[in-house]
A and B are shown apart, each in its own frame.
Chain A
């Protein structure tokens, strides 16, 4: 499975794909994109890396166990919901900061929720692929 072309290509493609995935995540509220698509893109990037360098190397690159990423994602989504409870409102009621970022739009709990979705999708997909690849 080791191919020099793939390895070389991955070197350039990986950062681009990851950047694209974050871009997709952030613009998702206003343009096509979002946590699901961004997460899948990032997972594809890691899949390429695993194909080129082997799953061990990808795990080292990730630094965190995919399961931790899943947990962090679920925690972020839950946190986005709990914020409303502090204001005495129903679970998952959206709250926004009074600032707007260019390209992202207003920043608030829906964005945090989407980040949670992103992390769960990245974590799950890499977990599946890496576990399989190692097997």
Chain B
């Protein structure tokens, strides 16, 4: 069921460009029906309490623990609803946003593919499934960020996002594998060890590998959810078309890291390590994001930095991990998804209607874009945490949950208040500044967006208001189910706008008031002092991780270039020397360590004629080296080869002896034919070079000789040969075991080998017959 629906989205993605060509304007709404249906299915099967509603397991590579396993629990269900629901709205929006552009079909296709990947990710219950879909979101995100691939800026942003999230994904894979192995060490059998839901029955925190596992998984979560110091790819990703930013970079993909933390917190959370690492990453990100947001001019970049800040807050809450903290994370996650997607779409409408997203060039738009303004106000109120919006409930809960903690609580509350003041001010910059105040002249006369582009932001904005007014729609259904999945036990949730008159409630109310008032004040100051804020930020970002990333990215190819110049010189001799030296430096130590080149026991004794043969072979080789005349060298080579053939004959290999004799004669004929007409090639190396080469070649000879002594006798596992010897006649009707191996037991290898032989022959023919002429690269 679940996998079929994901596959359906993928099929739709493939068909989207075709549908776009056939249906035109109607393609987007028709395609949006698919994620909408997905959301409906999730709603109909919504899990109760901490339970699981739908599961699905399809075997894949069961030996490696890889399965296609899905489970619909509270956490998965809420995120799937967000992804599918917001996804449907954004598909419709994208249809309008890209109207008249040739790339609309491609964008719809990518968006559908992304939805498939994201839904697979949130539903995954097997670590391999999780990883595959996790990486799929990174890859599709790469395509989406680089959507306008004719712009260098887009390509750079796409590569940056892919590198950061891809590296984190690899770390996460290592962490997940460690976790799976730990689960299997602790007693889970077979594929159970790799199923995340099954980890509840063991305690991974007891395992000695807990800390490295945690670190690796946190690296994955931190890169994906843009935690400091990996946050810089997210603002860069704003090069993507606006519907993409609304879907990936606010509501869904960047939540994947937070999702991972939530998914694993029942299994890995609750320890001091978890608390310190996750909470501190979250706090720093929350503050850095909030601060950076205030110095931006681009609507989308402001939104991106506030997203970074909120992701930090969510991480911090999951790091704290108390029941109240988890509940407020749940509320904040959903509220943020709703208002941030709406605000991105508003930014898209402003861009669409005026031709710019620079807030210094915008003002007084409310008259021209009334519906967009309405949506902006609704979403911004939620973002600012003003009553009676959903965001207000979220922030109240956030402060309450912090006050719960003893000593640390006060500091976290102060940090959260500071960040939230900045968020209120940022909400003003995005939703108030462009619409009210003095009218500016944007690049083209402002006009309202079409209905398809208003549906999304208005619905999302209204949803925030609705949940704020009627919290029962959330705290009886989605909220407790999701919180229960994160905490691993049943919880109750009670959200309200008014908390009564207890000391705690009043403190929270005061904090909320301070936040809103401070934010409005900050906004009013900032509106006039934007240039100052920007300058301050520019100083601050000199030392930021973006620079480190760019510097290392630039240094990497340079280092690779230098290294390959060193080892892969255009000089054949030097390249060969490097290869030989590298091989020796690896082989020699391991020979000494493993083999202790001592004489093996049970040596076969030597007979005189064998010594004579050895002398013949070596003398032939030596003459091939020293003879200046080519033909003489070739003949000496032949002598050496015939010596080897005789050696084969003496030591029970008649087939080899015959083959070697034939090949040796043919080689001599061939080389004589070929080189007869060439002028002599004098020794071109200096004396010192010759000495160096001789030393290198001599060292290689010594190492190989030692190697022979270490590997003999009988380093081949005998079982294979014993099988061949035993079965050659009875099963394969052949008395010559060597030939039976060649044409029957291992005939496939031989088939490959004769193909190589045939290709070499054809290569010779082509080289000689297809004369390319002496001019460079000329035609035949």
Give A contacts to B, CB under 8 Å.
24, 28-37, 40-41, 43-44, 47, 51, 66-67, 70, 73-74, 77-78, 80-81, 91-92, 94, 96, 105-106, 108, 110-111, 113-114, 116-117, 120-121, 123-125, 127-129, 131-133, 135
Q: A40-B662, A44-B662, A110-B740 are in contact. Are A30 and B655 (CB under 8 A)?
A: no
Given A31-B735, A33-B739, A117-B754 contact (CB < 8 Å): yes
A94 touches B744 (CB 8 A): yes
Identify the 5 closest CB pairs spanning chains A and B, nearest first.
A124-B761, A40-B662, A32-B654, A30-B735, A29-B734
Chain B residues, CB < 8 A from A67: 762, 765
Known: A33-B736, A132-B670. A40 touches B751 (CB 8 A): no
| Interface check B769, CB cutoff 8 A | yes
Query: Nearest residue in B to A21 (C-beta to C-beta)?
Result: B662
Which chain B residues border A28 with CB–CB below 8 Å?
736, 739
Known contacts: A81-B751, A133-B673. The answer to whether A128 contacts B744 by CB under 8 A is no
Q: Which of B714-751 contact A (CB under 8 A)?
A: 732-736, 738-740, 742-744, 747-748, 750-751
Interface string of B634-674 (1 = CB under 8 A from A): 00000000000000000000110011001101100110011
Do residues B765 and A127 form an inter-chain contact, with CB atoms below 8 A? yes
Question: In chain B, what residue has the closest Cβ to A40?
Answer: B662
Give the nearest-CB partner of B673 in chain A: A132
Would you mind naming 14 contact pairs between A and B with Cβ atoms under 8 Å apart? A29-B743, A33-B655, A33-B736, A35-B742, A36-B659, A37-B655, A41-B662, A47-B669, A78-B751, A110-B747, A117-B742, A117-B750, A123-B761, A131-B769
- Taking A81-B751, A125-B761 as given, write out 20 further A-B residue pairs in contact, using a Cβ cutoff of 8 Å, ordered by the A residue number: A30-B736, A34-B655, A40-B662, A47-B669, A70-B761, A73-B758, A81-B748, A92-B751, A105-B735, A108-B733, A120-B754, A120-B757, A123-B758, A123-B761, A127-B764, A128-B765, A129-B669, A129-B670, A131-B768, A132-B670
Interface residues, chain B, with chain A CB atoms under 8 Å away: 654-655, 658-659, 662-663, 665-666, 669-670, 673-674, 732-736, 738-740, 742-744, 747-748, 750-751, 754-755, 757-758, 760-762, 764-765, 768-769
**Are A77 and B765 closer than 8 Å at their CB atoms?**
no
What B residues does A96 contact at CB under 8 A? Answer: 733
In the assembled complex, the Cα of A36 lies from the Cα of B750 at a distance in Å of 10
Check B747 against A92 for contact (C-beta < 8 Å): yes
Chain B contact surface mostly: helix
Known A-B contacts A33-B739, A47-B669, A129-B669; A74 and B733 likewise in contact (beta carbons under 8 Å): no
Given A37-B659, A132-B670: A105 in contact with B733 (beta carbons within 8 A): yes
Inside 8 A of A127's CB, which chain B residues have their CB?
761-762, 764-765
Shortest B765–chain A CB gap in Å is: 5
Chain B residues with CB below 8 A from A121, complex form: 754, 757
Chain B residue at minimal CB-CB distance from A130? B765
For the complex, would chain A's binding face be called helix, strand, loop or mixed by DSSP majority? Answer: helix
- Give A13 to B84 CA distance when docked, in angstroms: 83
Residue pair B666, A106 in contact (C-beta under 8 Å): no
Contacts of A81 in B (CB 8 A): 747-748, 751
What residue in chain B is nearest A112 (Cβ atoms)? B743
For residue A116, give the distance in angstroms from its CB to the closest CB of chain B. 7
Residue of A nearest to B729 (CB): A30
Complex contact A113–B758 (CB within 8 A): no
